[in-house]
Amino acid sequence: MPPLFDYAAQAGSAIKAFAEASSDLLIQPTLRLGVTGLARSGKTVFTTALIHHLVEGHALPAFEPAHAGRLRRARLVPQPDDDVPRFPFEENFTALTEARRWPGSTDRISQFRLAIEYERAGGWRSGPATLMLDVVDYPGEWLLDLALVDQSYVAWSRATIAGTRRAGRAEIAAPWLAVMAELDPAAPLDEVVAERAANAFKAYLAALRAGAESVATTPPGRFLMPGDLAGSPMLTFAPLDRLEEVQAPGSLGALMERRFEAYKSKVVEPFFREHFQRVDRQIVLVDVLSAVDSGPAALAELEEALDAVLLAFRIGRNSLLSRFFAPRAERIMFAATKADHLHQSSHDRLDALLRLLVSRAMRRTEAAGARVGTVALASVRATRETTVHDGGEVLRAVSGTPEAGEHVGDEIFDGLSEAAVFPGELPADPQAVLDGAVPPGSFRFPRFRPPPVRSDALGRPGHLPQIRLDRAMQFLIGDRLT
């Protein structure tokens, strides 16, 4: 991208940031919470549960404003950006409580604003105040696109092709590699050929995501979740082999390169600028357990993906100047989701494993001056703790309703009956999991259906149980509600 445009874009976002910061200070305090996570890490459920607890005003012991009784009420109000769909909270909540199924995977961006009315706690001023909480939900597949911003087409092609050589991918990649082998980047451009290459590439990405071991997706994310861009020429490109450093004009390679650049500048960068660069607080949801379930290779992939994502964020302590012109996220919480799949006595180990996984990102974040916290949480708690006495053995298990088709050993569930599941014991030393010192098959974390929650006789919605969601809320927004 020519530097002139870059500066223009930066100046634009600085002006926007300035307007927002002044309104935050002078007119209406506003907090932008970034909910970040790869696909299937539980962003939508986290967001739904967050709204549910705040709006219903539940007792949240570790969330100080709620515990001290200072929260007057919270309600959903019209969001600031009119061009973004509203977060379908009611739909998701009904799905969770009535149909007892998890909300489907998010396929487009959505936003909501929550007005939290509270009683001030400290300082000279007292009395009621309002804080606006803005949260954005988006498909996790799009997140890894952030790593593309700094890559050129040639570098990206090489990296993606190198990625096919990883263990276990050869078979999946074979059809696409066969198509690509026939293409010559220097050949004159032909729309039909380009489309064939792009389709083969898309099929490869989809197969990769469906694979058993995959926890992160390979960019570009819009190939899997196109949103409203389906069929656009910006999504019709693919990596090519045998690329020169500079593409001849009018060649297939040049066409692909142009589209790749267009994808970056028209799709990735606006998304990034609009929704990521201006968050004040950030929670990174990590589905550690699924990765543990799939083995050390998946864990390594997860670590790499998280690191790439966090590099793209602006993180650190705000100075007076940066608050106005280039705000940074000053608090980051890493959360291992789905902690309810483990007995609570193992939650500490899950937390330790998470810390090991994100240690690289954590160090960098701390060095930048941001505050870092970790937690093992369950936004919606689907199980309860059970001790199983099997003959002489005592197993600390969790019980709930596993989803239909899930299996543990040779037991296959129908999605109706309850079961107590002992998922295996996480080792005390988290390094053992990464080193592969744990024999395969030691863990099995089946997915559970959401807990049965009934509305009472007055028709008031039930209470979705949670684990440590209140702690996360205290870390992320508690200090702004004083």
Partner 1 sequence: MTNPQRPRAFRIPSADQTPPEAATAEAPPPPRPEVRFVDEPYEIVDAADGVAVPVAPKRRAPWLSILFSALGGLVTIAVGLSIERLITDLFATAPWLGFVALALLGIAAVALTALVAREALGVWRERKIEALRERALAALSTRDHTAAQGVVQELRGFYTGRPALAAGIRRLDAVGDAILDVDDRLALAEGELLSPLDRQAKAAIAQAASQVSAVTALSPRAIVDVAFVVFSAARLLRRIAAIYGGRPGLLGFLRLARAALAHLTVTGGMAVGEGMLHQVLGLGLAARVSAKLGEGVLNGLMTARFGLAALAVCRPLPFVRVSPPTVNDVAGQLFRSSEDRA
Please list every residue from 406 through 465 that binds partner 1, using CB under 8 A: 408-409, 411, 413-414, 416-425, 427-428, 432, 438-439, 441-444, 446, 465
Nearer to partner 1, 275 or 341 (CB): 341
Whether omega for the bond prior to residue 220 falls within 30 degrees of 0, making it cis, is: yes
Residues 224, 191: Cα–Cα separation, whole Å: 21
Q: How far apart, in Å, are the Cα atoms of 111 and each of 39, 83, 185, 199, 457? A: 17, 10, 41, 31, 32
Mark 389-408 with x for binding to partner 1 (rule: CB under 8 A) and - for no binding.
xxx-x-x-x-x--x-----x
Nearer to partner 1, 225 or 421 (CB): 421
Please give the DSSP secondary-structure letter assigned to residue 452. P
Residues 379, 44: Cα–Cα separation, whole Å: 10
Residues 280, 33: Cα–Cα separation, whole Å: 6
CB of 18 to partner 1, least distance (A): 28
Residues 449, 417: Cα–Cα separation, whole Å: 11
Nearer to partner 1, 22 or 345 (CB): 345
Footprint on residues 43-62 left by partner 1 (CB under 8 A): 61-62
- The footprint of partner 1 on this chain (CB under 8 A) covers a number of residues equal to 75
Phi, psi (deg, nearest 5) at residue 149: -50, -40
Identify the CA nearest to 259 among candidates 244, 229, 281, 237.
237
CB of 458 to partner 1, least distance (A): 23
Residues 241, 177: Cα–Cα separation, whole Å: 9
CB of 284 to partner 1, least distance (A): 14
Structure-derived torsion over alpha carbons of residues 8, 14, 20, 23, reported in degrees to the nearest 10: -110
Residues 423, 342: Cα–Cα separation, whole Å: 7
Interface with partner 1, residue 318, by CB under 8 A: no
Nearer to partner 1, 266 or 384 (CB): 384
**Is the separation of the CB atoms in 86 and 110 below 8 Å?**
yes
Query: What residues does 359 pair with on adjacent strands?
Result: none
CB of 388 to partner 1, least distance (A): 6
CB of 304 to partner 1, least distance (A): 18
CB of 344 to partner 1, least distance (A): 5
CB of 421 to partner 1, least distance (A): 5
CB of 471 to partner 1, least distance (A): 6
Sequence-ordered strand ranges (E) for 244-328 = 281-286
Q: How far apart, in Å, are the Cα atoms of 5 and each of 127, 206, 255, 270, 305? A: 47, 34, 22, 13, 29
Nearer to partner 1, 254 or 329 (CB): 329
Nearer to partner 1, 185 or 465 (CB): 465
Mark 194-233 with x for binding to partner 1 (rule: CB under 8 A) and - for no binding.
----------------------------------------
Nearer to partner 1, 241 or 390 (CB): 390
Nearer to partner 1, 64 or 301 (CB): 64
CB of 322 to partner 1, least distance (A): 18
Nearer to partner 1, 15 or 428 (CB): 428
Residues 41, 463: Cα–Cα separation, whole Å: 22
Footprint on residues 59-118 left by partner 1 (CB under 8 A): 61-64, 67-68
Identify the CA nearest to 301 among candidates 208, 217, 212.
217
Footprint on residues 321-380 left by partner 1 (CB under 8 A): 344-345, 347-348, 351-352, 355-356, 359, 362-363, 366, 370-375
Interface with partner 1, residue 474, by CB under 8 A: yes
CB atoms inside a 10 Å sphere around CB 436: 12
Helix (H) or strand (E) holding 131: strand 128-137
Nearer to partner 1, 248 or 394 (CB): 394
CB of 302 to partner 1, least distance (A): 16
Candidates 126, 319, 431, 455; binder of partner 1 (CB under 8 A) is 126
